Structure formats: structure tokens, C-alpha cells
A and B are shown apart, each in its own frame.
Chain A
Amino acid sequence: MTQSHDTTPASEIPEPTPEQIGSLLDELAGVELMGMLQSVQQRWGYLPAPVLREIARRTRTPLSRIYGVVSFYANFHTAPRGRHTVRACRGTACHVRGATKVLSAIERTLGITEGQSTPDLEFCLETVACLGTCFLGPVMMIDGEYFGNLTPESVQTILANYGTGE
């Protein structure tokens, strides 16, 4: 159930050790749940099940309630994801300027669909409701970097160059 929208096979994932979990959660003592989850995800790129269990134990909160929070938000993930996160904007402004075609081009180029990671764990693909850069639509973000005025043609070039020093 916790693997609902993530697709990477669990066997390839290095699980965090109990020591790593302990030391991070020690640092986070007293922090509210949302902040704790955000820090954990920042550390491992996703929310490993053992960490969630340990949070539940330490905060005396039922695991089901924590899962209720985790599964509510679009940005929390319970399985590891590609090294680079591609976020394609589905916002209104992007939509009216051809975001649908841009998203199909990204999916074709990476060979994955929304919510998936590439088998080499290089890229994962998400869509977001709006990146707030509507003036540049259609837009995507790769990690922290924005790419605007996209066309199905230009995304291919951008993705091909990504990670090769450009």
C-alpha cells in the first residue's frame, strides 16, 4: 500500500541503517511532523519505511496517522527516485501554450510516464500544478533549474544535454 504511485523495484534501494536513522531523528527532536518528513526526504530522497516507523515510535503517533499525512501531499515519496527530478508544469498558462505536447515529448524522450523513474535512476518525472513562472510557459524544472518557452523539439535537446556539463 505504501508503494502506491512509485514504481522502482524495492530490491535496488539501499535502506538507511538504524544508526543513520537514529542520528537524524535525534537532530530533529521537537520539530513538527511536516518539518521532520521534509528533512528525512531531503536526506534520502524519499521517505524510507523504517524511518517512518521510527518517527511513529518516537513521537508516539500511530503509523497510520503519519501515513495519512504522507499520502496527502504530492511532494512526499515512499520509494526512491531518479537523481534528477524533472518537474513539468501543468499550470493554466502552460496548458494554453501547449504543455500537453511538451509533457508527451518529455515522456517519449525519457521513456517513462509521470510518477516514474528511469531504470538507471537518472531521471524521475513529476508534474506540478504550477511552478509560478507562467510568463515563461510551457515550463519545466530540472532539479533547481528552470527551462521556459519549451517546445516538444526543445525538450529533447535539453534532456539530452542534461548532466553532460551543460
Chain B
Amino acid sequence: MTAPLKTIDDLQRLRDDLAARPAAEMDIRVCSTGCRARGALRVCQALEDAIAEAGLGETVRVVRTGCLGMCAGAVAVAVQPAGLFYRGVTVGDAAEIVERTVRRGEVLDRLCWQGADGPVPHREDIPFYRHQDRRVLANCGRIDPTSLDDALQAGAYASLATVLSGMPPEDVIEQVTASGLRGRGGAGFPTGRKWQLARAAAGEPKYVICNADEGDPGAFMDRALLEGDPHLVIEGMLIGAYAIGAARGTIYVRAEYPIAIEHTAAALAQARQRGLLGEDILGSGLDFEIEIRQGAGSFVCGEETSLIASIEGRRPMPRSRPPFPAVEGLYGKPTNINNVETWANVPRIIAAGPDAYAAVGTKRSKGTKIFALAGKVANTGLVEVPMGATLREIVFDIGGGIPRGRKFKAVQMGGPSGGCVPAQYLDRPIDYDSLREIGAIMGSGGLIVMDEATCMVDIARFFTEFVQAESCGKCVPCRVGTRRMLEILTRITNGQGELEDIDRLVALGEMIRDASLCGLGQTAPNPVLSTIRFFRHEYEAHIVEKRCPAHSCEALITTTCSSACPAHVNIPEYVALISEGRLAEALDVIRRRNPFASVCGRACDHPCERFCRRGDIDEPVGIRNLKRFATEQVTDTTVSPALRWHGPRSGKVAVIGSGPAGLSAGYFLALMGREVTVFEAMDVAGGVLRVGIPDYRLPREAVARDIDYIRDAGVEIRTGRKIESLQELRHAGFDAIFVAVGAHKGMTPGLEGEDLPGVWDALRFLREVSTGLLTEMAGAAVVIGGGNAAIDAARTALRLGAEPVTILYRRTRQEMPALPQEIEEAIMEGVRLHPLVAPIEILGEGRVSAVRCALMKLGPADEGGRRRPVPTGAEEVVRTDHVILAIGQASELDFVTPDGELVITRGRIETHPVTQRSGASDVFAGGDVVTGPATIVQAVAAGQRAAQAIDRFLGGKGELPITAGFASRRKPDESAAELPRQHPEAIPPQRRRQSFEEVLKEYTVEAARCEARRCLRCDLE
């Protein structure tokens, strides 16, 4: 059956013949395009060998398909008709797949996609597929793209047959126009109108071009379509050629896509051989031929006038339009250029009819859009959704969210011509127009997810470097302007920028946008302008603080972990010392930046681990556990001779508050030779560490040990001494004052009934428990709030005997600000979580008896990207005996307010971000009183910065001790590559409720050594 098809009936007969052929009983579909990078072809061979060996060659077929979509699961395999989907398949799995799945019909759990509740065997149940609407990609990953028969069986060229069966060309254009199809290459020009112009233009022959020069870094939709379903694109071009009256077509494809070229060339040869290309196609009188032209590595060739110049063999510089290619294109003749995905939509429009096609999408953007989902997202791959889907659906529902527990920052859309879309727009329906409003563009559909470890200035620099290199040089604003922008951006990422640079970038960007000829130049500044619009604070951090908030710009960081540690502890150094068994030295290295080693070894939120490079390979190094190990093994609380100040002390400094910020400042000032007195209003030192964090998480012995160490450094702590005014300290002869009073006042929501007996604020509750005033709690308790204080209060109430303990939160668990691990443990211990309720009134006669709540649902994102709670109108009454309010914390600032010399905004003292200096030259402040409730290590860092600034204020150099040069400079040996993360033991949940015993145990010596060896020693690079 390889004779050319002469008529439309021939085509139908061939289709019937194919349908009547005996089909294989089972198809094993293997992505043999994108997944080749992971050895897909070897997997195919191994499967075929195993099938042959099992004697199943007649009934089971291995189909080498195009992209199955879930590229993160390479090599991806689908088993039909069972509908199974396997991921991460290797050659070694082939025999087992054949033996168990093919022969015995069993599911191999280990190869299935893993959901929260275990393996999900069926493709249609996997969220990645369930939330998609794969129309244009329907056959991609289903058929063998090198087989015309496969394509025909899946319906290829049926729309062509419809068109050639007597539909006038004008009607075809009318249908495409009515469908609302807009160009998928980026700009979104209506396709029907473009065709109309080319049809109406005078001149013969006319040309159609398929633009497959998918040059945007981060886009791979066109590649996947040509690789996985090339006949769909050819059919689209045939229909377009018929409608426009074109005789010749060209597919201009990047040379970087060898598989796309191979499959397209094969498809063209088959179509030609079968008479679907050539003269008098299917007896309709249509003559049409398509050839492939390869690019040679030039981004500007995606611009249509450049592309034409490239095909013609000229230096591919864009020219001004008009005349548009529709009038004067290839070789001066009318030419219609559409992108691959646009062509691939055409057969669907004819098949379904324009109305059905236009039923999907938004008002002004119809149909579906394919996105290449990549970057910091769990399920990278090829995604097709209706126009109007939200980024949250794409990134979280389909993409599975951000790996490694990191925070979502932005999505970059449209490549070098596009922009970054921040979290606040996660719930906005996306189409051509809505994206333009927020400074991004649809582009060809590259969608790169960025998390908190992605530096937005670096991204702007990256794209500017790209467009700078790709600028053809014709227009001076683009050629020179982008170079100037690149120089400025490079300077900023190197920490040498000035604040005026931001305005310079904006001015340059606007000029380049207005004065360049082609799309490349006009859009070149977009990545810079959009990052400045939404992430100006990151630019400012690089310039003012010389800090890269994403810990990514190499000139501004040492290692990612040490940079991510607010106190900048030299982590690789002490971890290496632990691996060498030099524990006292390890502890000393920690204490050179953080005196609260015992505390932070237990209760730190360890941002270092989120940024640990080992986490990109398997799991991050257990840095916090290692720190704790060192402090448990070495209990000595004397300051090492090298650190201790030996001379006479000068400069009197008063510190108000003995929490982590105050004591850290005092400690570093003492090491610098200052005379420090810390004043503490309570009877015990330690602030929130002592009275705010429960014992099961932070035993008071650990706090006491660190405070002993700080005292040994020369800090005097006076407890039970409340400061009434700053003036009082000045009169007492203090040269400088550090205010670090924390945020110990629980905020109240102002609800009816909040003064009833049985209602607590969480801080007072925790304080009374930790000072022994409250030892029992009977009956039911509810905690209102979602932060760490709420979790601490709930777990504490549980330990006092309350039953049940329920947390009421107005959003859902995902939006809770508390550390995920803490939430997890609370639930494990028996705390109930009741999400989506907001209290309206506390009920009770003489004593609390219930909370009346409004039921909530999640609305669109707020500024920070968290979804806002919206009342549903329904209500619920929750019975309880105790209510603990954990909705916010404030500072008590009565003692500074009368002075009027400090700037206080919304209850917080304003300070300089680097020096912590307040409005008064001798007054510095840090910790929660400046930031609002934050982490312990952030407070330590604030104390450290303040100590440096205060020392300089007093005439010193403000230098911190050196932290490098202690450990050996050997890289870990190769055996360390295989070591898994070591987990310390924890006491079982059922035992936890009965005591305040510390939940996590420390590492064994053996485990600590192993864990320390897992460090990649990035500091040695």
C-alpha cells in the first residue's frame, strides 16, 4: 500500500484498511524524543528484547513516540490499553515490566508517579495530566511520529480531506478567523486576518513558512510538536497553502533540534511518497511542496524579515515593515509565516468547527496553549491548558509546586522578550492581553519557574547578556544600549552598583524599546524593566547592603549555606571539623558568628539547609543536627583564649533585653573590648528563648549553657531591671544603647468575649507554663492562628492535658506561616487542624464555652502570593473550654516613645538595614522590635551587625573574628557521594504528650561523622 493516493476516496480507503488491520493487543509507548537524553532508545531496545524473549512479539508492540509530557519523569513509558504510566524507567526495568506488567497485568508501584497517598498507576489520575486539556498535543506521545500509518489511524489529514472536498479557500479563511486563533509565536496576531492579507496580495508564486526557529531559551513546545506529531504541522500548512493559494512551503527549523529535523524530514518524505505533497494533491488540483531549511544559531532569525533573509542566503538582519511579508516576503513574493503551534491548531479548527474551537479559552484568546514548564518546579514538562488558566493551576496543580520546600518567587514568561510575573498574580487568568498588562508576554510559551534561590538581578543580567549577544547590530540603541545595560547589571551583581543605576537602567530600557526597529530590540529591555518593577528591593539589596537575597551572585557570597545563614556562620568549615572529629574547634568556629550554638542547634529554622547544594543531588546536609551534636559533645562554656578580649575595656554599652538579639550584640561587643551591661525586665535571662519556646523544642539547659558562655565573654546581665527611658541610661554614663526588647505582647483581635476567663494570649500562656505558674489544662482547647506561636501553644496545651486541642486557621495548612515540620509534628502528636474558619465571637456565660466562626474559602492571591481567605457566608460554632489567641505579637515601647527621637512605624523601630542604627546617633535596635516576630538566627544576626556598628561608633574597627583556615582543605572522597542523609532518633508521638522531654535526639558519633562527610565543600571551589 505505498502507491500514491490519487483521490480523497483513496485516502479514506487507506484509513479503512489500516483500521481493519490486526492491531497489537498491547502498546508500550516510550518517549523516544526528549527522553533520549536519559537513554530512551536503549530502554526501547531492552523492552523489545524482553518481549521477543518472552515470545510476545506478535501481540505487544513497543511504540517509539514523541513527548509524553512529563519530562521530569524521563524515561516516560505508557502502557495501553491499561492506561498505566511509568516514570524514571531504565534499561534495568525492562525485564520486570515485561514479566510482571505485560504478562501478569501487575502494576509496578516503584515506577509509578508518587502522590501524597502513595503510587498513582493510571495516567488519568495523575494531577499533572488530570488538570490539563491536551488537544493539540493529543497524538503527541501516542503515535509513532515516524509512521504515517500511525498518524493516519489517529486522524491525520482528515481535515485536509474536508477542505479539499469542495470547501472554497475563502471559507477556510473564514473558519480560521471565526475560531479566534491568534499566532502562538508570541505577538498573538489574528491568524485568519494574516491569511486574508496573503491571499489578497498580488504576486505569484506565494509562499507559506513554518517558523520553527524556537530560539527563546526555555521554550520547547515547537520542538515537541515537530518531534512527536510532524504530520499535524504539515497538514496545517497544507490547509493554509490551499486557503492562501501558496505553491511552496518552508519549515525553518533550528539546527539545534536534530530529532525534530529527522522526524520532519521523514514525515515530508512519506507525505510526498503518498501523494499528500506534490502535484494535484488527492486529485484536488492543489500543488504544494514543503522543504526544510535549517538555522545556524541566531536568535534574530525568529523575526520574520530576518528569517526570510536567512532562507534567501542573505545576512539575516531585520528590515522595517511595511511592506509586510504578506505583501512582499520570500523572494519579494506574498508570504505567510506562522509558528509551529499555530499551524498545528489549524486541523483542529477544521475538524471541530470554529464554534467548538472557540468555546475554549477567554474572550479574546481562544483555544488552548502549550507551555514548556521548566525551572524550579517538580513536574517539568510539556503542558497544554485552555487559555485563561491561572499560573497557580500550571505551577502548582499541574507542575506539583516548588521542590525542596522553597518559596515560589516568580514565573518568567516569554523568554528574553518577556517578563517576570510575581506571586501576587498567581490567580490571574492568563491570556495574551492579561499578560501584557503585567509587563510579560505569552511569547512562544516558555514558562520558567523561579524560587527564592533565583536572583532576579542575575536573571535580568542573564537575558540582557543573551540579547546583547544576539543583537544583529543594525540599530544603535539595541546594539550599544544593551551593552551599556549589561555593564550596569554586571556591576550590580558584583556588588559595585550605585542607587542611580536603577534609574539609568529604566531610562536606557525605555529608549531601546522606543528606538529599535524589530521585535528583538523593542522587547530586549523587558526582563530588566519587569524585574525592576516587581523586584526593585532585590536590586537595592545588591547595591546598598552588598547582599544577594537569593544567595546566588558569586561575588557577594562565600557559599550558599553561609550566605543563607543570617549570622553567616562558616558552615563548611565547622562541618569539615566535625568530620575530622575536631569538635571543640568546630564549636569555636560556630561561636565566632553565633554565641547561641546550643539554641540554634535545636530551634533554628536553618535556612542554610534550604540553600545547601547537596540538596540538589539528594538531600541537604543536616547542618542543624550537626551543630547540636557539637554542642552536646563539648559542654565547655568558656570562651577560647583566641577569642577572648584580654586588654582593658573601654566604651560603655547598654543593651535593653536579653533575648537572642540583645545577648548576641553584647557578646560580640564584649569580644571587641567593650564594657557591656544587659538589662532584662524579667527575672530570668534569655527572653523568648527562655519563656516563649517550649521545653520539648528547646530545653532550658541548652539556653542556660549559651548564656553561661556569653557571660564568660564578659557580658554583665542584670535581670529584674526594667528600663524606664533612654535618658536614664545616658545619665548613667552609657555611650551607646542597643534596644532589643523583642515582641512579647500578644495582640488581640478585638472580638466580643475576648476578655472572658479561659481566653489566653499565646505568649502569656507560654510564659506562664515555662515559669511554672501554669501546669495543667483540663477540657478542650482551641488555638487561633497559624504561626509558630500557635503551634507551640497547641503542642504545649496538649502536654498540659487539654483534649482535644484544635487549631483554627482562616486559610489552609499550605498558607500557614509556621514551619512545615512543626505543623507536621503537631498533627502527629494529635493536634487537630481546622482550616478555613475565622473567629467572629467568643461565647460564654462567665467563662468561655465556644467560638463562633465564619467559614472561609480561598480567594485570589495577596501581595505575597498567599491566597486570601474570603467568607462563604456560612458559620460554625466550635465548643471549647479554653481559647488561646496567637494572632500576632507586638513590642512594648513605652520607654522610648516619650523621647520622640526614634522613628516608630506600626509599632516597630525603624533602623538602617546594615548598621541597625535608629534615628538617634547613639541608639541602635535589632531583633523582633525592628522586624516583628522573626527567627532566632535573624535576631542573632541583627545583634552581630549592631555590635559591629556600635564598635565603629565608639571608635573601633567593628571587626568580627576570622572563621576560615581551621579545617583541612581536602574535598570529600567519592564514597561520600553515596551516603544518605542521617536522621537522628525522635521519641515516639504517643510518649510526647506526657512530658516536655525534648522530641529530637542527637546524632550518634557515627551518624554525625557520616553526615559531616556529605558536605560538598563548596567553600573550596
A34 at the interface (CB under 8 A from B): yes
A95 near B298 with CB under 8 A, answer no
A129 at the interface (CB under 8 A from B): yes
B256 near A135 with CB under 8 A, answer no
Distance, CA A34 to CA B213, complexed state (A): 15
Mask, B308-338, CB within 8 Å of A = 1, is 0011111110000000000000000000000
A68 at the interface (CB under 8 A from B): yes
B453 to chain A, nearest CB (A): 8
Extra contacts besides A130-B216, A133-B34, A135-B374 (15): CB < 8 Å: A32-B313, A34-B313, A35-B294, A38-B294, A38-B296, A73-B298, A76-B296, A92-B217, A92-B374, A92-B463, A93-B448, A129-B466, A139-B37, A148-B74, A153-B617
A80 at the interface (CB under 8 A from B): no
B374 near A93 with CB under 8 A, answer yes
B296 near A93 with CB under 8 A, answer no
A84 at the interface (CB under 8 A from B): no
B362 to chain A, nearest CB (A): 26
Chain A residues within 8 Å of B257, by CB: 132
Chain B residues within 8 Å of A100, by CB: 554
B294 near A135 with CB under 8 A, answer no
A33 at the interface (CB under 8 A from B): yes
Can you list 9 contacts pairing A with B, beta carbon distance less than 8 Å? A69-B316, A74-B298, A93-B375, A96-B448, A130-B218, A133-B220, A135-B34, A135-B72, A136-B37
> Given A97-B375, A137-B374 in contact, is the A129-B217 Cβ separation under 8 Å?
yes
Chain A residues within 8 Å of B372, by CB: 134-135
A46 at the interface (CB under 8 A from B): no
Which residues A110-137 have CB closer than 8 A to chain B? 128-137
Distance, CA A59 to CA B238, complexed state (A): 33
Which of B38, B74, B297 interacts with A75 by CB under 8 Å?
A: B297
Mask, B106-123, CB within 8 Å of A = 1, is 000000000000000000
Distance, CA A141 to CA B838, complexed state (A): 55
Distance, CA A76 to CA B463, complexed state (A): 23
A134 near B72 with CB under 8 A, answer no
Total cross-chain contacts (CB, 8 A): 146
Which residues B4-55 have CB closer than 8 A to chain A? 34, 36-38
B375 near A92 with CB under 8 A, answer yes
Q: Which of A72, A98, A151, A152 has the largest count of B CB atoms less than 10 A from its CB?
A: A72
B610 at the interface (CB under 8 A from A): no
B37 near A148 with CB under 8 A, answer yes
B454 at the interface (CB under 8 A from A): yes
Chain A residues within 8 Å of B977, by CB: 153
Distance, CA A131 to CA B254, complexed state (A): 10
Chain A residues within 8 Å of B1016, by CB: 153
A132 near B296 with CB under 8 A, answer no
Chain A residues within 8 Å of B534, by CB: none
A65 to chain B, nearest CB (A): 7
Which of A93, A131, A137, A145 interacts with B256 by CB under 8 Å?
A: A131
A96 near B616 with CB under 8 A, answer no
Mask, A49-69, CB within 8 Å of B = 1, is 000000000000000010011
Chain B residues within 8 Å of A33, by CB: 313
Which of A65, A73, A101, A135 interacts with B296 by CB under 8 Å?
A: A73
> Given A65-B315, A146-B37 in contact, is the A134-B375 Cβ separation under 8 Å?
yes
A34 near B294 with CB under 8 A, answer yes
B666 at the interface (CB under 8 A from A): no
Nearest A residue to B72, CB-CB: A135
A137 to chain B, nearest CB (A): 7
Nearest B residue to A59, CB-CB: B313
Interface size on B, as a range, is: 35 or more
Nearest A residue to B297, CB-CB: A74
Interface size on A, as a range, is: 35 or more
B293 at the interface (CB under 8 A from A): yes
B374 near A34 with CB under 8 A, answer no
B381 at the interface (CB under 8 A from A): yes
Which of A90, A96, A101 interacts with B450 by CB under 8 Å?
A: A96
A73 near B214 with CB under 8 A, answer no
A34 near B258 with CB under 8 A, answer no
Mask, B597-624, CB within 8 Å of A = 1, is 0000000000000000100110000000
Which of A69, A72, A134 interacts with B380 by CB under 8 Å?
A: A134
Distance, CA A97 to CA B402, complexed state (A): 13
> Given A65-B315, A96-B376 in contact, is the A135-B223 Cβ separation under 8 Å?
no
A73 near B297 with CB under 8 A, answer yes
B299 at the interface (CB under 8 A from A): yes
A69 near B313 with CB under 8 A, answer yes
B217 near A34 with CB under 8 A, answer no
Chain A residues within 8 Å of B254, by CB: 132
B805 at the interface (CB under 8 A from A): no
B313 near A72 with CB under 8 A, answer no
Chain B residues within 8 Å of A129, by CB: 215, 217, 297, 299, 466, 470
Which of A128, A132, A151, A152 interacts with B219 by CB under 8 Å?
A: A132
Which of B37, B217, B310, B312 interacts with A91 by CB under 8 Å?
A: B217
A165 at the interface (CB under 8 A from B): no
Nearest A residue to B33, CB-CB: A133
Distance, CA A136 to CA B38, complexed state (A): 9
B71 at the interface (CB under 8 A from A): yes
> Given A69-B315, A129-B215 in contact, is the A136-B298 Cβ separation under 8 Å?
no
Which of A68, A144, A151 interacts with B616 by CB under 8 Å?
A: A151
Distance, CA A91 to CA B215, complexed state (A): 10
A69 near B217 with CB under 8 A, answer no
B412 at the interface (CB under 8 A from A): yes
Distance, CA A90 to CA B415, complexed state (A): 13
B684 at the interface (CB under 8 A from A): no
A148 near B38 with CB under 8 A, answer yes
B778 at the interface (CB under 8 A from A): no
Distance, CA A95 to CA B311, complexed state (A): 31
B89 to chain A, nearest CB (A): 15
B869 to chain A, nearest CB (A): 32
Distance, CA A137 to CA B412, complexed state (A): 16
B462 near A92 with CB under 8 A, answer yes
Nearest B residue to A143, CB-CB: B258
B223 near A132 with CB under 8 A, answer yes
B220 near A128 with CB under 8 A, answer no
B167 at the interface (CB under 8 A from A): no
Distance, CA A34 to CA B293, complexed state (A): 8
Q: Which of B36, B297, B312, B1021 has the largest count of A CB atoms less than 10 A from its CB?
A: B297
Chain A residues within 8 Å of B617, by CB: 151, 153
Mask, B38-82, CB within 8 Å of A = 1, is 100000000000000000000000000000000110100000000
A59 to chain B, nearest CB (A): 9
